[in-house]
Amino acid sequence: MTIRPLSVGLAGLGTVGAGVLAVLRDNAELITARAGRPIVVTAVSARDRTRDRGISVGGFRWYDDPVALAHDGGVDVVVEAIGGSEGSARQLVTAALSARKPVVTANKALLAVHGAELALLAEREQVSLAFEAAVAGGIPAIKALREGLAANRISRVAGILNGTCNYILTVMREQGREFAEVLADAQRLGYAEADPAFDVDGIDAAHKLAILAALAFGRPVAFDEVHVEGIRRISALDIELAGELGYRIKLLGIAARSDAGIEARVHPCMVPATAPIALVDGVFNAVVAEGDFVGRVMLQGRGAGAGPTASAVVADLIDIARGRNTPVWGAARADLSHAPSVPMSSHVGAYYLRLMVLDRPGVIADVTAALRDAGISMESMLQRGRGRSPGEAVPVVLTTHETRESAMRLALARIAELNTVLEAPAMIRIEAA
């Protein structure tokens, strides 16, 4: 008996799309065995038909309009590898789901911004919307949360979700160089885009965290309620001082559930240098989940690139070929949580402060008075040397016991007003792990 192949329409032939073609070609026999039938691309859409992609794109039905893939009667499933939260990517996914065709996407921006409405559409039409490749590349973070840990109540999910930022912070620590210089090198090496804002300002990590939080806590995705900070203000001095205090600086995405609701935040963190996540360096990503029965689980690997991302896309295609269909956020709409979002001002944690102050009597007393008036307890203080002249700035580092974010913001505003503090205070949140 001949088994009919699963026919794939692939929109986007950039890094990810070409990678999908390569995986399906190179591992065809293995994929057929695991899918129960062959998986073949039969139709494609891309802007440039003449571009050399390093892999043959001949023999496919070609569409200049990617939305047309959704209406190709010979296509069983659509893979969206265009990118972006709007435009043709959104139109294609909406059209395919409306036509009752399963969709596989690597598009974290689309899911973070429009995931709630797309999930409703997929549920209504009873088709799969699969997105393993949208978070952490080849790391099976989506399956781990939605399926592997399905029996657990997840209390926290966190991770290093952007390889570009992790690479920059790693090189800054290892070589003692400043952010702007390392970023320029990362751009030359292809680790950072010509316009790096999406990565270094934390937006990419926030898209991924919004998706992970929706899965972990079983509620519709809420990207607009994620607190986002990037790494532009991290200095080589902060990284050096963090090391002296026994920490490393990482850009983390963290989402946690409490009785008050869901807290979701992306920002630089100081984590103990011995913590497993502190040891994840370079372009690697990591995802940590904490469940009530399983405890802490950590997954680590390459979070981007043609091979890892295409691997995740094809894993979703194998599920679809086998007829597996899991609700987008792990449960049907009627069973999703509507827990409120907790504002960043309510966050409670410890803090690192670095001040550049005049080496003058009474400066520390003024700073500690500002902390005292805000109800903040200081844990430790580190002063680096003495100024050579009365007008020279010296760094003073303070760490605090746990306090509320709103109190810390109040104290920072008062400290910044002191005429002995010569630049805006640097503040980094301290995380246990």
| Residues known to be catalytic | 208
Compute the chain's Rg from CA coordinates.
Answer: 24
Residues 6+ apart with CB under 8 A from 57: 13, 21, 44, 46
Q: Can you read off the two tokens belonging to residue 204?
A: 């990419």
DSSP lists the bridge partners of residue 104 as 79, 130
Q: Is the Cα dihedral 11, 112, 124, 144 positive or negative?
A: positive
DSSP annotation of 146: I
Helix (H) and strand (E) counts in the chain: 13, 17
Q: Can you read off the two tokens belonging to residue 271?
A: 């984590």
Using CA atoms, how far apart are residues 3 and 357, in angstroms rounded to an integer? 74
321 by Cβ neighbours in 10 Å (0-12 / 13-18 / 19+) ranks as: buried
Residue with tokens 């050579």, as numbered in its chain: 388
Q: How many CA atoms lie within 13 A of 42 on its CB side?
A: 17
400 neighbors 353 (Cβ within 8 angstroms): yes
DSSP lists the bridge partners of residue 80 as 11, 105
Nearest Cα residue to 115 out of 96, 94, 87, 145: 94
